């Protein structure tokens, strides 16, 4: 099986990256914090092995926001696109913001989390499992 070769980047184009492995555990997160971070109804994030993620351009154009003691979020300092987060309690992986990927991807989201705190104007219209907090196993 050929490995993936996905490309993505930020809105202004200064930050470019590629992914050469699978995107695992793609989740729609409806928590209030993801809503703030994305400026939208929910975040769609997935897990990529650090070794499968490579910046092609603009790594120095990122700004880091240390969100918690363990989690840091990286976004383009020019256009504000959120790119990924890293978590020191989960070494070896990054959590990528799926909307920044330009390529068609083969993986699909598997669940809605924090569905109990979704925006009251947001309607979930698919058959994926919905969890009130994190999905089982996280």
Site residues (vs Zn ion, CB under 5 A): 10, 12, 14, 29, 31, 34, 76, 78-79
- Give min distance, CB of 12 to Zn ion, in A: 3
- Give min distance, CB of 58 to Zn ion, in A: 7
**Cβ closest to Zn ion, residue 3 vs residue 132:** 132
- Give min distance, CB of 21 to Zn ion, in A: 23
Cβ neighbors of 129 (< 8 A, separation 6 or more) are: 110, 111, 112, 135
Report d(CA 38, CA 46) in Å as an integer: 14
**Cβ closest to Zn ion, residue 53 vs residue 75:** 75
**Cβ closest to Zn ion, residue 2 vs residue 137:** 137
- How far from chain centre, in Å, is Cα 77? 17
Report d(CA 43, CA 4) in Å as an integer: 22
Cβ neighbors of 111 (< 8 A, separation 6 or more) are: 27, 28, 128, 129, 130, 131, 135
- Give min distance, CB of 79 to Zn ion, in A: 3
Task: List the structure tokens of 89.
Answer: 């309690």
């Amino acid at each position: 099986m050929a490995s993936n070769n996905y490309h993505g980047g930020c809105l202004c184009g200064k930050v470019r990256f590629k992914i050469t492995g699978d995107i695992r555990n793609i989740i729609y997160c409806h928590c209030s914090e993801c809503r703030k971070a994305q400026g939208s109804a929910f975040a769609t994030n997935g897990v990529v092995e650090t070794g499968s993620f490579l910046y092609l351009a603009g790594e120095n154009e990122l700004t880091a926001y240390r969100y918690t003691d363990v989690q840091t979020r990286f976004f383009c300092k020019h256009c504000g696109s959120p790119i990924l987060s890293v978590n020191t309690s989960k070494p070896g992986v990054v959590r990528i913001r799926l909307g920044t990927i330009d390529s068609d991807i083969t993986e699909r989201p598997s669940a809605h989390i924090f569905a109990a705190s979704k925006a009251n104007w947001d309607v979930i219209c698919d058959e994926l499992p919905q969890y009130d907090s994190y999905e089982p196993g996280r």
